[in-house]
Amino acid sequence: MKKYILLFLPLFLLICMVLIWPKTVPLSFARDNRVAVLILGDSLSAGLGVETEQTYPFLLEEMLNQKGFTVNILNGSISGSTTAGASSRLKWFLRAKPDIILLALGANDGLRGLSTDKMTQNLENAIILAKKNGIQVILAGMKLPPNYGPAYANAFETSFVWLTQKHDLPFIPFLLKNVAGKASLNQADGIHPNPDGHKIIAATVFEILSEQL
Amino acid sequence: MLWIRLGLKELIKNRGFALFFILNLTLGFAGFIAIHSFGRSLNRHLDDNLKNILTADLVVSSNRALEPKDLELINTVLGAKKQQARLISFYTMVRAGQNARLIRVMAIDNFYPLYGKFSLEKSSEIKSIQNTPGVFMTRDTAYVLGLRGKADKNFPITLGSKTFHIADFFVDDPDTSLTAVELAPKIYMGIDQLSDTGLIQFGSRIRYSRYFRFEPDADVPILVNTLRQEYAKAFPGQKRVNIYDSRDVNRRLDRLTRYFTGYMGLVSVVSLFLAGIATAYLFRGYLNLKQQEMAVLMSIGARHHEIWLYLSIQLIILGLIASILSIIISLALVPAFPVIFQGLIPDQVNLRTDPATIILALGLGTIGSMIFCLPVFVRLFAIKPLMLLRGTSDSIKKNTQQSVRQLASIIPGLAAFLLISIFAAGSMKNGIIFVVGFAIALAFLSLIGWLLLSACKRISHTRITVAKIAFRNLFRNKWASLSCFVTIAMGAFLISLIPQIQQGLQNEIVRPEGLKIPAFFLVDIQDEQKTPFIEFMQNQEGELANLSPMIRGRITTKNQQPFRHEVRQSDDRPRRRGGHRLEFNFSYRKDLDVSETIVQGDPLSTTPWNFESKRPFEISVEQSFAERYNIQIGDFLGFEIQGLPFEGQVKNLRKIRWNSFQPNFFLLFQNGVLNDAPKTFLAAISNVPLSKRQDLKNRIVDAFPNVSVIDVTQMAGTLLGITNKLSLSIRFMAWLAIAAGLISIFSIARHEAWKNENQINLLKILGSKFSEIQAITLLEFGFIGFTAALSAILLSYAFSWAVSLYFFDSLWQINLTLSFLILFLTTGVCMFTAFTASRKVMKSKPMRLLENEN
């Protein structure tokens, strides 16, 4: 009995929170007629080490609007985040009523050597939650540096492919395409893109995102 | 030669006094050598500790393999006299049987480590993993990989596309890196075995490090700076490599070691001044006693330089003997400190008498005598012999030329003090500050002494005979009493400077009460995992502490201005690796942690912030963060958290003791702001028995696979070991300085009491009772000792506060216990020496004492 109470308690609290939230939060995500795109990512999308105006989400919005799209990009990325928090974070952003979500998580799971099965499950939960709320999902794939070993790196990479195929999602095979491993496009830590790197990522994402708009 | 011979004969003739003089001076010097040697030994020990942590003097590391042009530049700057070792490190998934785990590969060459060593179960050589595919790991790591029971060296471990075996198990490894949080256990392998693994390819995230060890006399900080400058010149705008030394070993220790070095400098200067005061006082006292002798010699036609030679040779011989004796005592005593003061000083410190200190003591004893006595020589040579014979030289009016000469004679003494202060303090600026502070204190105490001794005339108008005589004596011999007062006061002032700073530093360094040292840090506990995790830990061995929410975001504005501009203007520190620090972690907590204290402003409101209030919420900012970004109380900060804009106002500044090893944050928000935002939790686990740690770690990873469990046992152990050593040393140094100071005061008081013997004798001849003579002497010396110590202690409060404000970030706290101790011991020492002097006089025949005088 106790076990059931424990299981239902968080759910009950969540329902209460959702019911109470709109009444107590005047600060809300500005919603207008533009297409709302939520980027749910990690440090690569949060723009660790670069100014907000240099991050690819910011550049992407500029590029899309210049091309005549009316898009509002909401960057909900957190440095260091893993897929474990994907669903709970998405719940917070549901209030922003996003039309499209770019799911760009998983890099930290890989770098920390976490289970790829668990990562896939976390991402899938987020995808299901988004779809239930009528949000179109774009999945950003990721690759691990070769030093993680071929077995793990392959398992990691194919997780994204599997999810894409299962849920029939638009897919960016590798978010850091043409950026990863290049010293001139990365910061001194060798892993986070610099402003030039962010420009290339913006172009990569633009290609897929513009097709969905 | 004649004058030298005469000088020697004079010493032999008055050997009783000479011995007494030497003994006093020896005590003063011995204290100085002990303090200096202890301080320098500790500094050396701390330096060695940091080098062992770094395993080198200097490290160059990079995310890419160093190219020939890098190596050429490094070799040009660092020179040929160096040893070097290579390390290539990276994370990878290691597979052993059915298990795959993240580990950190440490590929080393035969020369690694340059400092420190492996502690291997089978004492294998590093070579054994160079030629064969073997690895070193801990038994815990082997257990995680699935190896159970006894060591099976054939247990296969796959790294990339190569299979390795366990060559040996290490209990301790040389890499006690404290700079980064280690996500995974380490496995050591030979650098030559790396190429076959296939793990190093384009895109691999690898750290290439070169370690350098230099000759002991190399100036490492200069080499580091030169290499950094040369890199900036050769590759402008490129961040090719990181160059660091033991100073960068750990930022947590940075502030503490800075405090410790500053404190050691202060204690060194104090001990030096104490020795200087005692030396100058005794030498000048000796010379003043020789006034009549000088007058006689001048009357019979001896030239000034001959008299100078005659007296100087006596001073130098006395000083030299005293220095040598004090060196012998120190050589025997200092190495015995660990035995004598077992438990009071850190273990494993190789204490030895420092050669530089020995030279300084010899210099003080010989050249010091001439420098300190120069003003006395100048004064005495400037007046007529007859005046000297009358003993009225003090009241003689000087002409302008004599005054200038007199003033000029002080300069060598001051210059010598300044030079050795700079040497002891380790910096010109600090040396000058100490000397100026010393001069101000001297002037202030002289004024207090003069006022007190002037007041003695009024106090002496009493019916109590003993008090009448005692205070009249003090007033009549005002200048001699003043000299004694000032010297004792300066001694007490110097030693009571230390306790206030020591108390402040001690409180900063020692672990706060109630603080538990964590074994694990837990990262990335999800919001929905919080309750299950708490419940999980209730059934485990170990205590979950400080479960802190963490929300990441950006600071966008400060007082409605873009925050990044503020950062650029005020942040002159080297940029962090990885670029600007634009994202920060925020948190909130009901009560402050024991490692936190509000230093400015009021506590944050406990009432949850109301989103509808449209008022900014309250923020608590960490002190050093506020300094770095020029944030003041009342400033408005704008934030972007999870896509939402927020605004808050700084309510207080908080000090964090980062060495407390608790999850702490630069910015804490008022309750209610972030409570519902998506967040993760950090936590610490303490009180886990060593044997249960690996089990607990495995259980956590199994139950909460996304939670990273970071073992901080080694890091905490290393850091706490160092901080405990610092704390012990600081306390011991304070006691040592007080003891050395009291010895100096004792030697001064003994000399002063000896000078008073004639006066006591006179009272005896006049028929005073022994009890009366004793009471008069005790009152005189007790009054001087007590008033001098009291004024010195009060003055030292103001000075130590100023010193702590300037050097130790206001770490200051009155140490009443030690202040009272200094007050009573100084008074006690003065009274005791007076008491023994009066007893000696009472036991001697009056005629004998008069004979001695003549």
3-class SS of residue B100: strand
The pLDDT value given to residue B247: 73
∠ CA B754-B759-B763, nearest 5°, is 130
* d(C-alpha B775, C-alpha B761), whole Å: 14
Q: Please report how the helices B2-13 and B15-54 are oriented relative to each other, as an axis angle in degrees rounded to 10.
A: 100
Q: Per-residue pLDDT for B150 more than 80?
A: no
**Of B306 and B344, the one with more pLDDT:** B306
Give the E-state strand segments of chain A in sequence order. 35-41, 71-75, 100-104, 136-140, 171-172
Say how many C-beta atoms besides its own lie within 10 A of residue B458's C-beta: 10
Q: What tokens does B204 get?
A: 């691999």
Q: What is the CATH number of domain A33-212?
A: 3.40.50.1110
Q: Per-residue pLDDT for B321 more than 60?
A: yes
Q: Which H, E and C letters describe B544-602, residue by residue?
A: EEEEEEEEEEEEEEECCEEHHHHHHHHCCCCCCCCCCCCEEEEECCCCCCCCEEEEEEC
- Residues 6 or more apart whose CB falls under 8 angstroms from that of B754 comprise B20, B837
Q: Using a CB-CB distance cutoff of 8 angstroms, which residues of chain B are in contact with residue A93?
A: 642-643
pLDDT in tens, B676-722: 788 889 888 888 887 888 888 888 888 887 888 888 777 777 777 77
Average pLDDT of chain A? 84
Q: Per-residue pLDDT for A26 more than 50?
A: no
Q: Provide mean pLDDT across the span B28-54.
A: 78
∠ CA B202-B206-B212, nearest 5°, is 130
Residue in chain A closest to B94 (alpha carbons) equals: A149
Q: Provide mean pLDDT across the span B553-573.
A: 67
Quickly state the pLDDT bin for B568 (edges 50, 70, 90): very low
Domain assignments of chain B as residue spans, ordered by start: 1-52+253-426, 53-252, 429-513+713-854, 543-686
Is residue B73 within 8 A of residue B238, CB to CB? The reply is: no
The pLDDT value given to residue A22: 36
**Of B514 and B576, the one with more pLDDT:** B514
For residue A113, give the nearest of B184, B577, B643 by CB distance: B184
For residue A145, give the nearest of B203, B529, B643 by CB distance: B203
> Among A45-54, B422-431, B781-790, where is mean pLDDT lowest?
B422-431
Q: Provide mean pLDDT across the span B636-656.
A: 87
Quickly state the pLDDT bin for B511 (edges 50, 70, 90): low
Quickly state the pLDDT bin for A2 (edges 50, 70, 90): very low
Q: Per-residue pLDDT for B411 more than 80?
A: yes
Quickly state the pLDDT bin for A32 (edges 50, 70, 90): low
At residue B194, φ and ψ (nearest 5 deg) are -70, -40
Q: What tokens does B149 get?
A: 């029971």
Residue in chain A closest to B159 (alpha carbons) equals: A149
The pLDDT value given to residue B854: 44
**Range ranked top by mean pLDDT from B354-363, B497-506, B617-626:** B617-626
Decide if B580 and A49 are in contact by the 8 Å CB cutoff.
yes
What percent of chain B clears pLDDT 90, i.e. is strictly above it? 13
The pLDDT value given to residue A134: 93
Q: Per-residue pLDDT for B271 more than 80?
A: no
The pLDDT value given to residue A191: 85
**Of B831 and B378, the one with more pLDDT:** B831
Q: Which residues of B220-250 are buried (b: 16+ CB within 10 A; e: fewer)?
A: beebbeebbeebeeeeeeebbbbbbbbbbbb
For residue B703, the one-letter residue type is A
The pLDDT value given to residue A202: 95
What percent of chain A clears pLDDT 90, i.e. is strictly above it? 56
Among residues B247, B244, B246, B223, which one has the least CA distance to residue B73?
B223
CB-facing half-sphere around the CA of A179: CA atoms within 13 A? 27
Among residues A104, A156, A158, which one has the least CA distance to residue A127?
A104
Q: Per-residue pLDDT for A59 more than 90?
A: yes
**Of B833 and B613, the one with more pLDDT:** B833
Q: Chain-centre distance of CA B806, in angstroms? A: 15
Is residue B261 within 8 A of residue B237, CB to CB? The reply is: no
Q: Please tell me what DSSP assigns to residue B457.
A: H
First to last CA, chain A: 49
Q: Provide mean pLDDT across the span B822-840.
A: 84
Residue in chain B closest to A13 (alpha carbons) equals: B528
Is residue B141 within 8 A of residue B185, CB to CB? The reply is: yes
Is residue B791 left, alpha or beta, with left meaning phi > 0 and alpha meaning psi from -120 to 50?
Answer: alpha
Cis peptide before B113 (omega within 30 of 0): yes
Q: Which residues of A76-111 are buried (b: 16+ CB within 10 A; e: fewer)?
A: bbbbbbbbbbbbbbbbbbbebebbbbbbbbbbbbbb
pLDDT in tens, B549-562: 998 888 888 888 88
- Residues 6 or more apart whose CB falls under 8 angstroms from that of A58 comprise A47, A52, A73, A75
Quickly state the pLDDT bin for B218 (edges 50, 70, 90): confident
The pLDDT value given to residue B131: 84
The pLDDT value given to residue B408: 82
The pLDDT value given to residue A7: 45
pLDDT in tens, B453-468: 888 888 888 888 888 8
The radius of gyration of chain A's CA atoms, rounded to the nearest angstrom, is 18
Q: Using a CB-CB distance cutoff of 8 angstroms, which residues of chain B are in contact with residue A115?
A: 705
For residue B356, the one-letter residue type is A
pLDDT in tens, A123-168: 999 999 999 999 999 999 999 999 999 999 999 999 999 999 999 9
What percent of chain B clears pLDDT 70, i.e. is strictly above it? 88
**Of B740 and B87, the one with more pLDDT:** B87
For residue A188, give the nearest of B239, B527, B528 by CB distance: B239
B741: exposed, middle or buried (C-beta count within 10 Å: 0-12, 13-18, 19+)?
A: buried
The pLDDT value given to residue B190: 92
The pLDDT value given to residue B58: 92
Which residues 296-355 in chain B show a CB within 8 A of chain A? none
Which residue numbers of A are catalytic? 43, 189, 192
**Of B21 and B61, the one with more pLDDT:** B61
**Shortest alpha-carbon distance between residue B226 and chain A (Å):** 21
> Among A2-6, B86-90, B445-449, where is mean pLDDT lowest?
A2-6
Helices within B704-811 (DSSP H only): 713-755, 757-765, 770-807
